[in-house]
Amino acid sequence: MIKIDLIKKLGLSDDEINLYGTDFLLQYLKYHHNTTYYVSTILFLGFEGEELNSLKSKAKGNGLEVKERIGELTFVCVNENFKDSKRINKAKEYDVFFINKNEFLEIFKEGEYLVNKNENVYIKSIREEFRIIKPLSNFDFTAKVKSFSFTSDFEYDVNLYKGTCNCSDYTNNRRFGYQQGDLRRYCKHMIWYYRDVFKPREFFGVKEYLIENCYSLKKDFRRIDLPKVEKPIYFSYDLNGQDCDIYFPYKNNVYEKYCYDFKNEYFDFDEKPNGYVRDLRLELNKIFRPEKEFYKKKKTRAEKKEIDANVNGCIYFFVFIVIVLFLIFS
């Protein structure tokens, strides 16, 4: 019962308890709790001496920043014998989780990260390059995320649990069509909040690079392999535009982003992966040239239909005029 009450206190539902079980949810909450101020912090009230030092050490070992004063906090751990109601009421002015010592030890007990082993939150049907941990209902709230534009102070509404944002990128690119747990669903505002507040773990390679740099994906995402490059090269593009984002791997799992204009076949700002350009361009052209020809023919057919429709319309109108004149003067 203590576990269930603790899980509910930290924002999860009965349905989730029934679906995932208490042990899994407690481990999930250890790593993925709401950090209103972006940093997981804790204040211990009513503890002293060796007991306090032990609790602080455990907190720091779990990535918590230990505070000495009431302020922007995530957790306040209160000794059951602590009677200073003034300090407790002061802490209540902030959006904090109040827990006792046993609850603290229950959440932050030792154990390896296993959240990504659960197929209900790390969905196997989603390609590995797009697969991310799906936030649960403790993130079912609207957060304000500032625009990335230097010329705008607009704020967007992000909800990680529902996987929504009210920005034009989310709507125009129909990101809502991807299921929760798919990185393609996320615009850059969602990725930023996911990175800084949800705090994903155990991501490597291109996925880690995308999230770390808040790079949202375009409609199409592909990979190619070059003999001289150990790891796959990824690129993201939309044929309605003309830019392709290339994510090129270097040594030590380091990636670099390049922008390629696939309609005019050049690298923006002349920034390119030197030494690999020729081979890379050959592979890119194998993909983009046939697709460009397809869309060009499709556009030509559409234009021809429009011309035929206009010609037929003129013919019908001319015949109509002739008939009217015939009826008038006959």
Query: Parallel, antiparallel, or unpaired for β 266-267 and 255-261?
Result: antiparallel
What is the reported pLDDT for 294?
Answer: 46
Which tokens sit at 271? 């920034």
Domain parsing of the chain, residue ranges: 2-117
Which tokens sit at 214? 């808040």
Sign of CA dihedral 54, 38, 94, 30: negative
Sign of CA dihedral 305, 311, 313, 315: negative
What is the reported pLDDT for 217?
Answer: 95
For residues 247 and 237, the answer to whether their CB atoms sit within 8 Å is no
Q: How many CA atoms lie within 13 A of 93 on its CB side?
A: 9
Distance between CA atoms of 133 and 16, rounded to whole angstroms? 15
Residue with tokens 């593009």: 237
Instruction: Annotate 260-290 with b (16+ C-beta within 10 A) or e (fewer).
Output: bebeeeebeeeebbeeeeeebbeebeebbee
Query: Parallel, antiparallel, or unpaired for β 97-99 and 143-146?
Result: unpaired
For residues 46 and 79, the answer to whether their CB atoms sit within 8 Å is yes
Q: What percentage of the chain reaches a pLDDT higher than 90?
A: 68
Kindly give the confidence (pLDDT) of every residue in the chain, 330 residues in length, as a single tens digit, with 9 standing for 90 and above.
679 999 999 999 999 999 999 999 999 999 999 987 889 999 999 999 999 999 999 999 999 999 999 988 999 999 999 989 999 999 998 889 999 999 999 999 998 899 999 999 999 999 999 999 999 999 999 999 998 877 778 899 999 999 999 999 999 999 999 999 999 999 999 999 999 999 999 898 999 999 999 999 998 999 999 988 989 999 999 888 889 999 999 988 889 999 999 988 889 988 999 999 999 999 888 888 875 554 555 555 556 566 666 656 666 666 667 676 666 766
Domain 2-117 falls in which CATH fold? Rossmann fold (3.40.50)
Which tokens sit at 235? 């690129």
**Inter-CA distances, 79 with 93, 125, 243, 323, Å:** 19, 45, 58, 98
What is the reported pLDDT for 150?
Answer: 72
- Written in H, E and C, the secondary structure of the chain is CHHHHHHHHCCCCHHHHHHHCHHHHHHHHHHCCCCCCCCCEEEEECCCHHHHHHHHHHHHHCCCEEECCCCCCCEEEECCCCCCHHHHHHHCCCCCEEECHHHHHHHCCCCCCCHHHCCCCCCCCCCCCCECCCCCHHHCCCEEEECCCCCCCCEEEEECCCCEECCHHHHHCCHHHCCCCEHHHCCHHHHHHHHHHHCCCCCCHHHHHHHHCCCCCCCEEEEECCCCCCCCEEEEECCCCCEEEEEEECHHHCEEEEEEECCCCEEHHHCCCCCCHHHHHHHHHHHHHHHHHHHHHHHHHHHHHHHHHHHHHHHHHHHHHHHHHHHHHC
